[in-house]
Amino acid sequence: MAVNPFEMAKKQIEIVAEEMNLNPNIRQFLKRIERSLIVSIPIMMDDGTVKIFEGYRVHHSTIRGPGKGGLRYSLGVNLDEVKALATWMTWKTSLLNLPLGGAKGGICVDPFKLSKKELEKLTRRFTAEIINIIGPDIDIPAPDINTNAQIMAWIMDTYSMQKGRSIPGVVTGKPIEIGGSVGRETATGMGLYFVLQALIDKLSLDLKSLKIVVQGFGNVGGTIADLLYKQGCKVIAVSDISTGIYYEDGLDIKKLIEWAKQGNLLKDYKNNKYKFIGNDDLLKSKCDVLIPAAIENQITEKNAEKIDCKIVLEGANGPTTPEADTILFKKGIHVVPDILANSGGVCVSYFEYLQDIHSYFWKLERINEELKGIIIEAFEETYKISKERKISLRTAAYIIAVSRISKAIELRGIFP
Ligand code: GLU
């Protein structure tokens, strides 16, 4: 049976709570969701029929600042998935010590089945339905699976129209022309790259000699595959929703990215040397770095024993279950947890939010330099704790994140 992601998120809290010997009141508080809004979104489709979609926006915690987190359009979206993703955002912003909380949203829809007009209507009506619980000092959505800068622009416009003035800070990941930030689109991939570089230094490995496998070829998977390919690494397998492809001597990532950017699927890519492989075989391929950059619940107790790499770098949120974590830890595989590895996206979202507030925009060099500074500091702290306490990088990262939240809860107290 598929793992319920929110149950998994709560289990992760229990693991770290035990390690930290956390007081039961705080434990309860950490597992609590501040608010969940479920909305019904009616859309007049192009053919004149009405279709109803269900949407969600969840705030896990705003204790350290406004809620922050992406918006996902996918048939896999449900309340428990969004709750888990919101919870993971709280740890992510806390680990980076950003003055933000954790939130997430989504609509249960296959966006590829909608016309552009229908997609716009869906986005605008959804924004109108959640308007009271978003805003620059309440909760700031951003892109996630199957959402992009155009969708953020529609949200920003709908929100601004309702408020009677332009409010770019209501979302991040916007087009640059209307208050977006340079470097936001590639930020998650850049963050993955900085963290990987730092870890391989610790392990005395050589970047260029690494063999890489990437699950997912969207914004995150595509960017990190491209960055590593440009550094001379062999990316031996990648996958999208249609298939995985494998080539021992290294795939031509440049060509594959061009192919994907034109809206094509990997299953239609022609190269006689490349072999098509399924998802499970892709994950079990022998490599140095496995980068799950698709969806949650991919490395489980069923396949963890067969994972054959030195490093798992979590581009996706929640790709590894707690049971699989234990197995990978015993095997000596370094798992760089999602809340650290993929935190580059939310970090540059924070920069975008700051730039919008100040109406002053930074250059790409500054974005990447500040991103590197913040993410490497979080990595060093996490690595140090994991070594000192002989625990996984995930538990170490959670200790840092949870400590900050716990302290904030203690200081603020419980109202009334
Ligand atoms: N969706 C991204 C994440 O899961 C980015 C969130 C954001 O920028 O707020 O981290």
341-352 mean pLDDT: 98
Question: Looking at the structure, do residues 149 and 250 belong to the same domain, yes or no?
Answer: no
Cβ–Cβ < 8 Å for 237, 221 = no
Nearest protein CA to atom 4 of ligand 1, as residue? 70
Say which residues have a Cβ less than 8 Å from residue 399's Cβ, sequence separation at least 6: 16, 19, 20, 385, 389
Residue 45 C-alpha to ligand 1 middle, in angstroms? 29
Residues of the chain by 3-state class (helix, strand, coil), percent to 5: 50, 15, 35
Question: Looking at the structure, do residues 219 and 317 belong to the same domain, yes or no?
Answer: yes
Question: Looking at the structure, do residues 122 and 203 belong to the same domain, yes or no?
Answer: no
Residue 24 C-alpha to ligand 1 middle, in angstroms? 29
Question: Looking at the structure, do residues 152 and 199 belong to the same domain, yes or no?
Answer: no
> At residue 278, what are phi and psi to the nearest 5 degrees?
-80, 170
Our mutation pick for probing the ligand 1 site, out of 144, 192, 295, counting the most ligand atoms within 8 A of Cβ, is 144
Question: Looking at the structure, do residues 237 and 333 belong to the same domain, yes or no?
Answer: yes
Q: What percent of the chain has pLDDT over 70?
A: 100
Residue 142 C-alpha to ligand 1 middle, in angstroms? 6
Q: Which of 231, 199, 189 is nearest to 348 (CA)?
A: 189
Question: Looking at the structure, do residues 193 and 153 belong to the same domain, yes or no?
Answer: no
Question: Looking at the structure, do residues 194 and 330 belong to the same domain, yes or no?
Answer: yes
Torsion, Cα of 359, 93, 145, 297 (10° steps): 180
Residue 64 C-alpha to ligand 1 middle, in angstroms? 17
Q: Using a 6 Å CB cutoff, which residues line ligand 1?
A: 68-70, 142, 144, 172, 317, 342, 345-346, 349
pLDDT at residue 229, rounded to an integer:
98
Question: Looking at the structure, do residues 297 and 200 belong to the same domain, yes or no?
Answer: yes
Lowest-confidence pick of 2-16, 98-112, 170-184: 2-16
Question: Looking at the structure, do residues 217 and 315 belong to the same domain, yes or no?
Answer: yes
Catalytic residue among 104, 121, 174, 372: 104
* pTM for this prediction: 0.97
Please give the Cα distance from 83 to 85 (Å, whole number): 6
9 confidence band (pLDDT: 50, 70, 90): very high
Please give the Cα distance from 295 to 293 (Å, whole number): 7
Average pLDDT of the chain is 97
109-121 mean pLDDT: 98
Please give the Cα distance from 18 to 24 (Å, whole number): 10
240-251 mean pLDDT: 97
In a domain, 251, yes or no: yes
In a domain, 382, yes or no: no
Question: Looking at the structure, do residues 133 and 259 belong to the same domain, yes or no?
Answer: no
Tally of domains in the chain: 2
Domain hosting residue 44, numbered range: 33-166
Please give the Cα distance from 63 to 99 (Å, whole number): 9
Please give the Cα distance from 138 to 197 (Å, whole number): 35
- Asked if the bond preceding 292 is cis, omega within 30° of 0, the reply is no
Whether the per-residue pLDDT at 2 is higher than 80: the answer is: no
Whether the per-residue pLDDT at 329 is higher than 80: the answer is: yes
DSSP label at residue 277: E
pLDDT at residue 314, rounded to an integer:
98
CATH code at 139? Answer: 3.40.50.10860
3 confidence band (pLDDT: 50, 70, 90): confident
Q: Largest Cα–Cα distance in the chain? A: 68
User: CB under 8 Å, gap of 24 or more: what pairs does 35-40 form?
Assistant: 35/59, 35/133, 36/79, 36/82, 36/83, 37/129, 37/130, 37/133, 38/79, 39/126, 39/129, 39/130, 40/129
The question of whether 372 is a catalytic residue gets the answer: no
368-374 mean pLDDT: 98
Whether the per-residue pLDDT at 318 is higher than 80: the answer is: yes
Please give the Cα distance from 238 to 283 (Å, whole number): 10
Our mutation pick for probing the ligand 1 site, out of 85, 188, 371, counting the most ligand atoms within 8 A of Cβ, is 188
Q: Where are the alpha helices (DSSP H) in 21-77?
A: 24-31
DSSP calls for 93-143: HHHTT-S--EEEEEEES-GGGS-HHHHHHHHHHHHHHTGGG-BTTTEEEEE
Q: For helices 149-163 and 116-129, give the axis angle rounded to 10 degrees.
A: 50
In a domain, 391, yes or no: no
In a domain, 370, yes or no: no
Say which residues have a Cβ less than 8 Å from residue 83's Cβ, sequence separation at least 6: 5, 6, 9, 33, 36, 58, 60, 104
Question: Looking at the structure, do residues 335 and 207 belong to the same domain, yes or no?
Answer: yes
Q: Which of 186, 261, 182 is nearest to 227 (CA)?
A: 186
Whether the per-residue pLDDT at 1 is higher than 90: the answer is: no
SS3 for 233?
coil
> Which residue, 341, 371, 396, sits at the end of a domain?
341
In a domain, 148, yes or no: yes
Q: For helices 24-31 and 5-20, give the axis angle rounded to 10 degrees.
A: 160
The residue assigned the tokens 């022609």 is 270
